Chains A and B, each alone.
Chain A
């Protein structure tokens, strides 16, 4: 079969389409999370997704629909722990994350293990993406675009300094809730693309890559989205061409792009330091 013929298959088209939208979602949300030092929330919520999937498999329900409310509630739980229990973000994420994993393992053990099914959620199965998941990712992407467009200045203010944002009358609690709920939904969707184990890479690496080139907040979000989409498209294509696991390939392409941007940024900094310093 000719390599280009691959792209005429419905499952490949679905994979590329859903993958691109999910990558854009993860990258845009990741920019806010990385800058607010909440990078690992994706990892934590992915672990909770594992618990949610296990519950779904136990009751023979579609795991996606079972995982969504559980992960959304956990995301809000993380916020409550930070706000009410005055825990550091990473500690709150750690608690909820380990609870999710523990719950998943316990359920899998009680049910006698789900073997293949659970394995496909842990490491992703991009070929199994359904039309429903494609449309959900498109819909979620639209929601995110609307939220970012309407709340751009608030998001920037909160990301820069949450306390000052409060003194501007911004309802930081509301914006935070929207942000973590969108992250929760995105993480559950993304488990099909890269798997539960690697989902945080889609949130973190494109944002960190974009930060190497950043010349403004808006452009950072855009570069992050482009990097995420590029890595998913390239990752899927390479994985088909070389018969490699798609999730892992996507993450490695992401890392290669980060390495490239990091090297370019260091070279640029080195050249800049040779010029006289700008003082004011």
Chain B
């Protein structure tokens, strides 16, 4: 089967105020893959995603996304993005759940961007998928952290993206919500072929779901399958035998 590259980075680097945040990142993600990005705090995970999305410009190297250079990429409807900063929510923000989910459709529209009557089904489907139909008229600020997260995931999914980028999406979810969330991702990735990139701190859990693992620590430490990660002697040197065993044992169970 011929693979189609969705994201490719070559020697990608980013410096800010003279400080090296990321250097020499090179990897390719094929269509239908599920990539888990892991690494310690401050390792550059969110910076990498912001570079992929064109929110910041690289100081070196390049990003290719759906075959186009990141500088000229404009097919935003192909991407669904869930940012990390749910805690920054204004608790008095006056938009309803339905209004927020509908915002996810704007990427596929040209000026003047309007949510049309024909978009209703997509909004209904996204809300049903995330089980938020019953709270559609509630204000986003009135919801619990887990509910807000589900609303934002529905917003990221509503346009039917081919690539879903999630920055620590499970932090506000309880164990049951987390399980349901991963089941949704499995459905999107396995059945609908959506390519997924997800930042997380939990290597053990992402190892159960992702087809590829990218370990960052200001540079690319590891890129490959979780099984290769567990067998890698480089990773044994990096983590120590005990830590690697703990991570991989959790995966085995």
Contact = CB atoms under 8 A, between A and B. Distances in A.
A166 B83 CA distance: 12
B81 A167 contact: yes
Contacts of B137: 215
Contact of B53 (A157, A167, A210, A279): A167
A237 B204 CA distance: 69
Given A167-B53, A168-B106, A217-B94, A156 B99 contact: yes
Contact of B103 (A156, A166, A220): A156
B122 to A, nearest CB: 14
B3 interface: no
Max count, chain A CB within 10 A of own CB: residue among B76, B79, B92, B103: B103
B166 to A, nearest CB: 12
B76 A215 contact: no
Nearest to B50: A163
Contacts of B79: 167
B102 to A, nearest CB: 8
A154 B81 contact: no
Contact of B74 (A150, A169, A216, A279): A169
B80 to A, nearest CB: 9
Contacts of A156: 95, 99, 103
Nearest to A220: B94
Contacts, number: 86
A198 to B, nearest CB: 24
Contacts of A211: 92, 94
Contacts of B96: 215-217
Contact of A157 (B54, B55, B85, B106): B106
B106 A217 contact: no
A214 interface: yes
Nearest to B142: A278
Given A156-B95, A161-B83, A217-B94, A168 B103 contact: yes
Nearest to A214: B94
Max count, chain A CB within 10 A of own CB: residue among B94, B112, B132, B139: B94
Contacts of A166: 53-55
A30 to B, nearest CB: 13
The range of chain B's interface size is 35 or more
Contact of A216 (B55, B95, B147): B95
A153 B103 contact: yes
B60 to A, nearest CB: 20
Interface string B99-110: 110111011000
A12 B79 CA distance: 55
B253 interface: no
A122 to B, nearest CB: 32
A280 B155 CA distance: 18
Contact of A153 (B94, B114, B144): B114
A164 interface: yes
Nearest to A216: B96
Interface in A194-217: 210-211, 214-217
A35 B74 CA distance: 28
A163 B46 CA distance: 13
Interface in A126-185: 149-151, 153-154, 156-157, 160-161, 163-170
A150 B111 contact: yes
B68 to A, nearest CB: 13
Contacts of B85: 161
10 contacts: A35-B90, A156-B99, A157-B106, A160-B93, A160-B95, A163-B83, A168-B104, A170-B106, A215-B96, A216-B99
